[in-house]
Amino acid sequence: MGILCQPIHKTIENQIIPVPSMRMGKLFYEFLSRYNEWKTAKIQAMIWMLIVLFIGSSIILLPWFLLGRGLIMSVVMMVFFYFASCHYLELNEQVSHLYVNVHVLHHHLSGKLEVGFCEHLEPCQCAEYFRRYVIKNYNISL
């Protein structure tokens, strides 16, 4: 016989989140902060990739459009291209590192939900309620 359980409400980023336990709330908060950090870094890396592509195409096209100074401008753009490429590679490495962190935390969180990690002694629906809440509000499948 299942009991009606009351999930623990934890405030995360000014939102009240129903979690099965306090430890699960801390784990979810860590996951959510890393997930948001990963999404932000991914967008930054995409923007810098576009900047690198723009500078690279400028290097090729400037000598044709600026006949007198095109070659000099192209060399200057190569310097910008070098620094922009280095920055993009650093961001891309950070995105990869954050992806691994998010993946590990997601796996850990999913594992705890699979075993019904909550503070109730009787069988309950805390984990399913929490999964539905996360899918509905964050569009993240646990």
Residue by residue, pLDDT tens for the chain (142 residues) are 344 455 556 565 666 667 666 777 778 888 888 999 999 999 999 999 999 999 999 888 888 887 777 788 888 899 999 999 999 999 999 999 999 999 998 888 877 776 666 666 566 677 777 778 778 877 777 7
Distance CA 78, CA 72 (A): 10
Distance CA 95, CA 89 (A): 10
Instruction: Please name the residue ranges forming H helices in the chain.
Output: 22-65, 70-114, 126-138
pLDDT at 2: 43
Phi and psi based region of residue 18 (left: phi greater than 0; alpha: psi -120 to 50; beta: remaining): beta
Identify any residues that bridge with 12 across adjacent strands, giving them in sequence order: 15
What length does the chain have? 142
Number of Cβ within a 10 Å radius of residue 4: 7
Number of Cβ within a 10 Å radius of residue 113: 20
Contacts with 55 (C-beta within 8 Å, 6 or more apart), sequence order: 77, 80, 81, 84
pTM of the model: 0.73
